[in-house]
């Protein structure tokens, strides 16, 4: 997903002499990798290889949150900045910090930002309480140059007045530590009425000076969904650090940008309703100071989506009287447990690959946010697991869940439970859940591909993992059959899809409402979602349904217009009227080569393009379950190969967004030329990813991008909703994936691996192309793909022999395609 309301980002004028984060971050990571390479120890601290700042830049919009979090933490402490900063933090040193806050998402493209509630900003108020700079504009400050720091479980930032802010966290709570320059009286402003999207819809704040506690909370608006939707959030700030700190003054304040700057010393209560006239955000909160000019101040923070009482209880339960160091150590241990599920041969892997891989694996467990027992609205008191920020399924079905499949079925099952519970409570599975609210649907019901991914790979364990497959299937069939009255946030426009066997353009729909755009891409996505239902029907032995949904999964063909020509290539996906006539648009529209920069390519209401956030050039490759037939539609193996080369070399590939993830770099596998995919994936990685702040080509999108890179580095590529993974060419000579639920460990060894192959182009004579694949001593039936059931499920050894010779084909079947007899039976 790209930020569809994205305004022009402020052109920052950055000198080369100063930047963020601190250069020490990379120095520390490089030293840790170098030390691990020398010691050759098996006892490796993988957290030391993680760079949380990758994707926090302000040119590629990675929108990554580098904040302190535990795996899948609800709390992610970071500093909120002015300007375009959807995750709160941005590394752009020309932006100003306005406070640190506990709630954030990571990688979302929402241009207004998401969360950022309950910000606290340390202040120096030399002339006393009434002169404190409480309002947003008055309190924002630059950072100290080259000083931001973060690693798993820890975040810190130092303001230009030398006040340092640090944070560490648990799932629903955390500690903030502030260090003041010697001798200054510490003041803090706490914000009630501001979050990143400026969506305050009313709330209250109470100061209990006796107990040194501030409870705060209210209602706020969706960051990527209907503006009329509100969610509730609460926090509990304990100010006394178990009695070691003494409050001096306290009170409340309100302000605006036009001169309102009122403070109420000694007042303890605010109760504000939504400001219905709109305009600039209403500003309000608490202000307090400490006795005795302590150099350090610690604030304990609990958050909840249920109540202030629960926010306080969460802090008591998860933090209690633990020290900053104790919480940080516990967080680090949780990260080590997640990161060590994938162990590589660090000694012989290029350091940048190690850093990219562990930073990607880190973000692959950073989101979605585990808000179990913190439910509201339709989900209040649910007995299911509950995850927030499924942001969005359209982004994550492709690589995020297929990676989780390899090593984390327990976590995967919990998230599948949250998808099924969405169907139970709201009628359809969630598509995009942002701030506990249904967000905008981008394609159709991509959650179908997520729960199907789980079902086909773990149906034997589903029951033990708490998933009822019959219920999972009922949820799928609802998505596939029941048209919601309004399909902008859930489900699909399945009534007209079923009537016409594609989603027609300009169709009379008398029974439901939604944004009638993206007819080409919606048809393609609905068809692949139908394949997901087909796959689960097959697991459950529902023969009639298998046939029915197999048929529907071929409907992608109904938007193929064989007459359209672009750059000499014939046949493109196009939108179509209900009478069958195609409505042709230029396949170049909405591609990087589109010369009309004002064209609206996302969720806007006009009908210029039939494709979502991409072009027909790109979407014409999209039939992941039936690529073999696509090859035929495009005119056969040679044309397909030429066309795929032209797609990349002619400038149509868009590394920064999801539609290009799928299929294209590995498309050559389907025409039996896997070595071409090896070259192309090297091209994609080397030219688009790196270890610096601009090291992602676009929004991380709840780690969709991170897991894409993870697969590329491991030399695998998933076919979603199946048990298959294509074999490409690992960037590391050896890795082991541990599945602690199945009690299996699988080691992939790349014989003849050369670090010189981590380059584009791969130099002549350097081995990188797959010559043979052996699974537990037995030659694999194909060099091009493996089945989860034969490999990572059972554990053991996979040997991949690579060669410099670009002549080896699949040596057996090419990856499967449904209409050519593929996916014929469930494993």
Ligand X SMILES: *[C@@H]1O[C@H](CO)[C@@H](O)[C@H](O)[C@H]1NC(C)=O
Q: What residues line the site for ligand X (CB under 6 A)?
A: 15, 17-18, 40, 71-72, 142, 144-145, 160, 204, 271, 347, 350, 352, 370, 372-373, 380-381, 411, 414, 506, 547-548, 551, 577, 579, 581, 606-608, 636-637, 671-672, 690-692, 742-743, 814
Q: Which of residues 150 and 814 has its CB atom nearest to ligand X in the complex?
A: 814
Q: Are strands 186-191 and 120-124 parallel, antiparallel or unpaired?
A: antiparallel
* Residue 735 bridge partners (DSSP): 344, 748
Nearer to ligand X, 18 or 260 (CB): 18
- Least spacing, CB of residue 607 vs ligand X, in Å: 4
Angle at 379 between CA 706 and CA 466, to 5 degrees: 65
Q: How far is the CB of 243 from ligand X (least distance, A)?
A: 27
Name the residue nearer to ligand X (CB basis): 468 or 547. Answer: 547
We find the least distance from the C-beta atom of residue 726 to ligand X, in angstroms, to be 14
DSSP sequence for 769-808: EEEEEEETTEE-S-SSEEEGGGTTTT-EEEEEEEES-TT-
CA distance 721 to 476: 13
Q: Quote the least distance from Cβ 422 to ligand X, whole Å.
A: 16
Nearer to ligand X, 289 or 304 (CB): 304
Q: What does the block give as tokens for 73?
A: 């933490």
CA 204 to chain centre: 32
326 or 692: whose CB is closer to ligand X? 692
CB 733 within 8 A of CB 746: no
Min dist CB 527 to ligand X, Å, is: 14
- Tokens representing residue 822 in the block: 């593929």
> Cβ 502 to ligand X, closest distance in Å?
14
In the complex, minimum distance from the CB of residue 786 to ligand X, in angstroms, rounded to a whole number: 18
C-alpha to C-alpha distances, 450 to 86, 663, 727, 755, nearest whole angstrom: 25, 17, 21, 35
Those residues whose C-beta lies under 8 Å from the C-beta of residue 89, and which sit 6 or more positions away, are 56, 65, 66, 67, 78, 79, 80, 81, 104
Q: Residue 637 Cβ, how far from ligand X at the closest point, in Å?
A: 4
Residue number, 577 or 789, with CB nearest to ligand X: 577
- Cβ proximity to ligand X: between 167 and 671 the closer is 671
Nearest distance in Å: CB 143, ligand X: 7
Return the number of other C-beta atoms located less than 10 Å from residue 244's C-beta: 10
- Nearest distance from residue 291's CB to ligand X, in Å? 29
Q: Sheet containing 796-803: which strands, arranged edge to edge?
A: 342-344, 734-739, 744-751, 796-803, 769-775, 778-779
Closest CB 816 distance from ligand X, rounded Å: 11
Query: Given the complex with ligand X, which of 86 and 98 has the nearer CB atom?
Result: 98
Residue (467 or 814) nearer to ligand X, CB: 814
Closer residue to ligand X (CB): 238 or 411: 411
Burial, 17: exposed, middle or buried (Cβ in 10 Å; 0-12, 13-18, 19+)? Answer: exposed
Q: Which is nearer to ligand X, 196 or 564 (CB)?
A: 564
C-alpha distances out from residue 61 to 64, 104, 151, 385, 691, Å? 8, 16, 21, 31, 15
Query: Which residue has its beta carbon closest to ligand X?
Result: 672
CB of 130 to ligand X, least distance (A): 25
Rounded CA separation 362/516 (Å): 38
C-alpha atoms less than 13 angstroms from C-alpha of 386 in its C-beta half-sphere? 24
Q: 407 in helix, strand or coil?
A: helix
Three-state DSSP state, 353: helix
Q: How far is the CB of 387 from ligand X (least distance, A)?
A: 8
Burial of 14 (0-12, 13-18, 19+ CB in 10 A): middle
Interatomic CA distance for residues 785 and 669, integer angstroms: 9
Closest to ligand X by CB, 242 vs 271, is 271
**Minimum CB distance to ligand X, residue 112 (Å):** 26
Nearest Cα to 693, choosing from 45, 87, 6?
87
Query: Which CB atom, from 294 or from 504, has the smaller least distance to ligand X?
Result: 504
| Element housing 572 (H / E) | strand 569-573
CB of 290 to ligand X, least distance (A): 25
Q: In what order do the strands lie in the sheet with 283-290?
A: 78-81, 97-101, 120-124, 186-191, 283-290, 247-255, 261-265
For the CB of residue 241, give the shortest distance to ligand X in the complex, in Å. Answer: 26
CB atoms within 10 A of CB 155: 27
Q: What residues are paired with 217 via a beta bridge?
A: 204, 234
CB 331 within 8 A of CB 168: yes
Q: Measured from the CB atom, is 293 or 499 closer to ligand X?
A: 499
Residue 127 vs 381, nearer CB to ligand X: 381
Nearer to ligand X, 441 or 739 (CB): 739
The answer to whether 172 touches 302, Cβ cutoff 8 Å, is yes
Distance, in Å, from the CA atom of 77 to the CA atom of 79, rounded to the nearest integer, reads: 7
SS percent in the chain: helix, strand, coil, step 5: 30, 20, 50
Q: Pairing between strand 724-727 and 716-718? A: antiparallel
């Amino acid at each position: 997903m790209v930020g569809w309301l994205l305004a022009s980002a402020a052109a920052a004028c950055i000198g080369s002499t100063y930047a963020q984060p601190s250069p020490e971050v990379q120095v520390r990571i490089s030293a840790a990798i170098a030390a691990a390479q020398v010691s050759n120890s098996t006892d490796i601290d993988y957290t030391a290889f993680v760079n949380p700042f990758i994707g926090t830049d302000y040119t590629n919009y990675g929108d990554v949150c580098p904040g302190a979090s535990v795996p899948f933490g609800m709390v992610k402490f970071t500093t909120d900045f002015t300007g375009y900063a959807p995750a709160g933090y941005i590394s752009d040193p020309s932006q100003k910090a306005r406070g640190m806050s506990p709630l954030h998402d990571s990688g979302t493209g929402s241009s207004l930002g998401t969360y950022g509630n309950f910000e606290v900003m340390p202040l120096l108020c030399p002339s006393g309480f009434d002169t404190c700079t409480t309002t947003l504009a008055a309190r924002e400050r630059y950072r100290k140059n080259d000083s931001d720091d973060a690693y798993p479980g820890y975040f810190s930032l130092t303001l230009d007045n030398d006040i340092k802010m640090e944070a560490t966290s648990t799932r629903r709570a955390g500690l903030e530590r502030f260090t003041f320059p010697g001798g200054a009286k510490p003041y803090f402003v706490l914000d009630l009425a501001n979050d990143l999207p400026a969506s305050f819809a009313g709330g209250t704040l109470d100061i209990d000076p006796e107990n040194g506690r501030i409870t705060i909370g209210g209602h706020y608006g969706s960051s990527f969904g209907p503006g009329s939707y509100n969610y509730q959030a609460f926090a509990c700030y304990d100010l006394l650090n178990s009695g070691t700190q003494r409050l001096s003054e306290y009170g409340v304040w309100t302000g605006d940008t036009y001169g309102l700057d009122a403070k109420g010393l000694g007042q303890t209560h605010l109760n504000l309703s939504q400001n219905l006239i709109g305009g600039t955000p209403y500003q309000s909160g608490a202000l307090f100071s400490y006795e005795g000019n302590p150099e350090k101040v610690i604030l304990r923070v609990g958050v909840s989506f249920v109540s202030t009482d629960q926010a306080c209880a969460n802090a008591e339960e998860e933090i209690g009287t633990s020290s900053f160091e104790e919480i940080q150590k516990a967080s680090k241990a949780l990260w080590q447990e997640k990161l060590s599920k994938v162990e590589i041969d660090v000694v012989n892997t290029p350091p940048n690959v190690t850093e990219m891989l562990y930073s990607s694996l880190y973000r692959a467990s950073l989101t979605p946010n585990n808000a179990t027992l913190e439910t509201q609205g339709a989900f209040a008191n649910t007995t299911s697991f509950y995850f927030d920020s499924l942001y969005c399924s359209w982004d994550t079905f492709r690589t995020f869940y297929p990676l989780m499949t390899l090593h984390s079925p327990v976590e995967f099952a919990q998230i599948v439970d949250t998808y099924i519970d969405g169907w139970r409570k709201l009628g359809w599975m969630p598509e995009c859940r942002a701030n506990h609210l249904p967000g905008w649907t981008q394609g159709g019901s991509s959650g179908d591909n997520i729960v199907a991914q789980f079902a086909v790979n773990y149906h034997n364990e589903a029951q033990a993992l708490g998933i009822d497959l019959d219920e999972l299937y009922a949820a799928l069939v609802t998505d596939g059959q029941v048209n919601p009255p309004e399909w902008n946030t859930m489900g699909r426009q399945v009534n007209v899809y079923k009537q016409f066997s594609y989603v027609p353009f300009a169709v009379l729909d008398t029974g439901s409402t939604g944004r009638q755009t993206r007819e080409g891409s919606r048809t393609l996505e609905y068809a692949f979602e139908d394949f997901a239902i087909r796959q689960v029907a097959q697991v459950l032995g529902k023969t009639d349904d298998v046939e029915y949904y197999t048929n529907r999964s071929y409907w992608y063909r109904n938007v193929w217009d064989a007459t359209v020509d672009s750059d000499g290539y014939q046949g493109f996906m196009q939108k179509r009227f209900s009478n069958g006539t195609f409505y042709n648009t230029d396949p170049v529209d909405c591609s990087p080569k589109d010369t009309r920069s004002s064209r609206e390519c996302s969720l806007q209401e006009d009908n210029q393009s039939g494709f979502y956030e991409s072009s027909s050039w790109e979407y014409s490759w999209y039939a992941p379950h039936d690529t073999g037939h696509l090859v035929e539609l495009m005119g056969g193996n040679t044309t397909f190969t030429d066309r795929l080369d032209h797609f990349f070399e002619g400038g149509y590939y868009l590394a920064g967004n999801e539609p290009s993830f799928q299929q294209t770099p590995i498309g050559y596998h389907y025409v039996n030329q896997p070595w071409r995919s090896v070259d192309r994936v090297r091209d994609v990685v080397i030219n688009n990813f790196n270890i610096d702040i601009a090291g992602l080509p676009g929004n991380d999108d709840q780690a969709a991008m991170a897991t894409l890179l993870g697969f590329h580095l491991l030399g695998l590529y998933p076919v979603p909703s199946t048990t298959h993974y294509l074999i490409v060419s690992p960037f590391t000579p050896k890795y082991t994936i541990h599945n602690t639920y199945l009690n299996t460990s699988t080691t992939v060894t790349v014989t003849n691996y050369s670090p010189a192959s981590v380059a584009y182009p791969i130099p002549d004579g350097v081995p990188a192309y797959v010559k043979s694949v052996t699974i537990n001593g037995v030659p694999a039936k194909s060099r091009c793909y493996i089945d989860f059931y034969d490999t990572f499920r059972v554990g053991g050894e996979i040997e991949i022999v690579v060669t410099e010779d670009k002549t080896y084909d699949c040596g057996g079947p090419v990856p499967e395609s449904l209409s050519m007899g593929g996916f014929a039976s469930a494993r």
